[in-house]
Amino acid sequence: MLSINGKEIASFEGFQKDMILNSAKTLTIERAGNKVDLAVKDDFMSKLIKLKKQTIISPRINTIVGDVSTGSNAQKAGLQKGDKFVSVNGVPTPFFDELISQLSLYAGTKIKLVVDRKGEPVWLDAEVTKEGKLGFDADSDYKKYFKTVKIDYNILSAIPAGTSKAFTTLGNYFKSIKMLFDRKGPKLKDSVGGFASMAKMFPDTFDWQSFWYLTATISVF
């Protein structure tokens, strides 16, 4: 992903906000080394919100085994943490979405896996559940797959950065409210929930930044 409406995408987080809040019309991507412009339909965001999607897309990650569930088919097959999937029944599955697609095709049946274990190929026989699963979590540590940047602030740089973030966040609030009254935007009933919906916005573990950020968001409405 390169740009939205001609503006360069600085970060993945920024990409999602710009798509929704700035009424994206054109998304420029790089595909097989070539730049491609994708037109975004006017009602795309409205449909997205109505379907209760929390993210537009997710980063594509390699199929690396994280935790293996005890007693699962993955454990019975001999899968180990750190194994990297190579193929399922001869079909290459280097990415997690490709693995999910293949497993769904063989739900309830036995399959042959090839994984890369510490640089060596390992052949395994496994059985897919009726739900199309094996019983392991993918390693989703994005730092292993993508370049990340950490920005440190001192007292002098933190104040202007915080001020800029505050005004940007406030601007996003008003853009969100404007969307509710846009004829082509999301319907109010599809976007605003009750107390149960608000509770689900908070993370599972307590975090002060998330707490005050979401509290401020709710207070606007």
**What average pLDDT does this structure show over 35-44?**
85
Q: Which of 5-9, 16-20, 111-115, 213-217 has the lowest mean pLDDT?
A: 213-217
Same domain, 69 and 140: yes
End-to-end CA distance of the chain: 33
Confidence (pLDDT) at 162: 84
Residue 205 reports pLDDT greater than 60: no
**Across residues 39-60, what is the average pLDDT?**
70
Looking at the structure, tell me whether residues 127 and 95 fall in a common domain: yes
Which tokens go with 108? 């309830």
Same domain, residue pair 103 and 205: no
pLDDT of residue 82: 92
Is pLDDT of 143 > 60?
yes
Higher pLDDT, 126 or 8: 126
Percentage of the residues of the chain whose pLDDT score is greater than 70: 71
Give the pLDDT confidence score for residue 57 in this predicted structure: 74
- What pLDDT is stored for residue 6 in this prediction? 86
Instruction: Name the DSSP class of 20.
Output: H
Question: Which of 144, 173, 206 is at the close of a domain?
Answer: 144
- Average of pLDDT values for 54-58? 68
CATH of the domain at 95: 2.30.42.10
Same-domain status, 172 and 206? yes
**Residue that terminates a domain, selected from 144, 163, 198:** 144
Query: Are residue 15 and residue 34 in the same domain, yes or no?
Result: yes
- Report how many domains make up the chain: 2
Question: For residues 64, 48, 17 and 218, what is the CA-based torsion angle, rounded to 10 degrees?
Answer: -110
C-alpha closest to that of 73 among 131, 136, 123 = 136
Claim to verify: residue 89 and residue 134 sit in the same structural domain = yes
Residue 202 has a pLDDT of 47
Mean pLDDT computed over 10-33? 78
In which domain, by residue range, is 212 found?
Answer: 3-58+149-220
3-class state of residue 29 by DSSP:
strand
Cα–Cα distance measured from residue 140 to residue 177, given in angstroms and rounded to the nearest whole number = 33
Q: Is the pLDDT of residue 177 over 70?
A: no
Residues 72 and 140 in one domain: yes
Residue that terminates a domain, selected from 97, 113, 144:
144
- Highest average pLDDT, of 2-6, 28-32, 131-135, 181-185, comes from 131-135
